[in-house]
Amino acid sequence: MVRQSLIRRIATTCCRADNKNGFGPNKQYRQGLHFVGTEPPALKYHKLQDKKPEQPYGLQGNNHLQPGNGKIYSKLPTKILMKKDKVYSWCSCGYSNRQPLCDGSHNRYFVPDQKLKPVRFIPDRDMEVWLCNCKQTKNRPFCDAFYRLVHMQLWVASLFYYCFCFMLCEILRWFVERFDQRHKNPTVTNLLLELVGTIQICAPMFDVGLVLDNYGLFGVFVEITLLELANVYMFRDAMAHPCPLFHAVARRRMTSLRFLLTFCVQMVGAYVSYFVALNFWKLGIHTQHLEMLEEKTCSSDLTVTIIVGCLIEGVAMFVTKAVEHYASTRYTTYENVLNCAFAGFLTVLGINFTGLYANPIVASACTFNCEGVTHLGHLGVYWLSPLVGWYAAEWYFGSDEEDEKED
């Protein structure tokens, strides 16, 4: 009878394990009933106990001093808002169904006995904190990097991100060169270099919004200018821009097959650049990077009508080509500095209206399929208008210099 009772208890525990999501009236609420982007907060299904008069603020007991570490649930911490006079029981074993707090999962039969108990904390004020999910922290229940993340300046984190992007692209170019030396296939080599170049142009742009929110337009000007200067010396063997492709195939300088392959590679590079940014944010260097990971939706940068947006992007492309033309003919000594500074200045003028990308690939990497504009509207503002501006500049200023370079 005892053996049968034990088996029955184990079976009951296993059958109901998926439904236990925390203490309180909603602990049997089933997961998976929410639409994308409407997931409840991490503590929604936990009924938090109130502080008793005899309990002090801060850590309760000595559970935070227990030796050993729990199972890694996630490498990313969870941001929560702690309320004053509420008791928070942090899961230290890593087996809780509803992280980061304990839900009693450590009492199940199939959970290893780790001799770890939940760490209880009572805040003396309302506060936002990052609770550890890897269970390896030395500052239970908080993430070890919490205080470091709060005090790090965003521009330092952005600098780390830019260095990461450029170093990654340089490493990829090194592998492409080794591939070319071994296989001697110039077509594949050129396509791979185009992929790397597109990633180098698109990936840093995912950080522009953070700089704008924290440092304003002047910060954006400095950021874009420095990125353009870095690309002057580090960007090579690629175009990372569809306008030259359309211009080349229209003037029969490029075959249709090569145009199609290069265009597809650029689109793939734009798509991959998002995952480059995503994986860097997962490192948790700054709290705002972690907040970017929590965002489920994105919004378009277009804040004006589609017609006005088309005019802004088209005129911006034409003016950019005009400045490049005059800088290359009259101010050759300071050509690179003038072009980079003007790119930053032009971005500042239009970033609050369209984002002022002046590059369809970058615009698609950052805002395609985002809320606020239809797909046709996106193609009209960020693709058709820059192409018209590019062709208008080529017609007005001519392309004799490019012909001489190609010859």
Reading the block at residue 396, the tokens are: 């007005």
Is there a domain that residue 87 lies in?
yes
Domain boundary among 148, 173, 199: 148
Provide the H-helix boundaries in 251-358: 256-281, 287-294, 306-330, 335-350
CATH number reported for the structural domain that contains residue 277 in this entry: 1.20.1080.10
Is there a domain that residue 357 lies in?
yes
Query: Which 8-state DSSP code applies to residue 187?
Result: H
* pTM, two decimal places: 0.68
My answer on whether 356 and 235 are in the same domain is yes
Domain boundary among 148, 176, 208: 148
My answer on whether 136 and 86 are in the same domain is yes
Confidence (pLDDT) at 190: 92
My answer on whether 310 and 252 are in the same domain is yes
Report the candidate in 120, 105, 112, 111 with the shortest Cα–Cα distance to residue 16.
105
My answer on whether 60 and 171 are in the same domain is no
Confidence (pLDDT) at 322: 92
Report the distance separating Cα 280 and Cα 172, nearest Å: 17
Report the distance separating Cα 94 and Cα 177, nearest Å: 45
Residue-level pLDDT, tens digit, the chain, 407 residues:
444 565 665 555 555 444 444 443 333 334 444 444 445 566 766 778 888 888 899 888 888 888 888 888 877 788 888 888 888 988 888 888 778 888 877 777 566 777 788 898 999 888 888 888 888 888 888 887 654 555 568 888 899 999 999 999 999 999 999 999 988 889 999 999 999 999 999 999 999 989 998 888 999 999 999 999 999 999 998 899 999 999 888 888 888 899 999 999 999 999 999 999 999 988 878 878 877 877 777 888 898 999 999 999 999 999 999 999 888 888 888 888 999 999 999 999 999 999 999 899 999 999 888 888 888 999 999 999 999 999 999 888 876 445 444 44
In angstroms, what CA-CA distances link 268 with 11, 192, 195, 264, 274? 48, 11, 7, 6, 10
Confidence (pLDDT) at 177: 92
My answer on whether 302 and 341 are in the same domain is yes
Q: How many domains does the chain divide into?
A: 2
Residue count of the chain: 407
Query: 243-281: buried (b, 16+ CB within 10 Å) or exposed (e) per residue?
Result: bbbbbbbeeeebeeebbebbbebbbebbebbeebbeebb
Report the candidate in 405, 385, 398 with the shortest Cα–Cα distance to residue 243.
385
My answer on whether 248 and 265 are in the same domain is yes
Domain of residue 246 covers 154-406
Span 264-306, pLDDT tens digits: 999 999 999 999 999 998 887 887 887 787 777 788 889 899 9
Span 72-128, pLDDT tens digits: 887 778 888 888 888 898 888 888 877 888 887 777 756 677 778 889 899 988 888
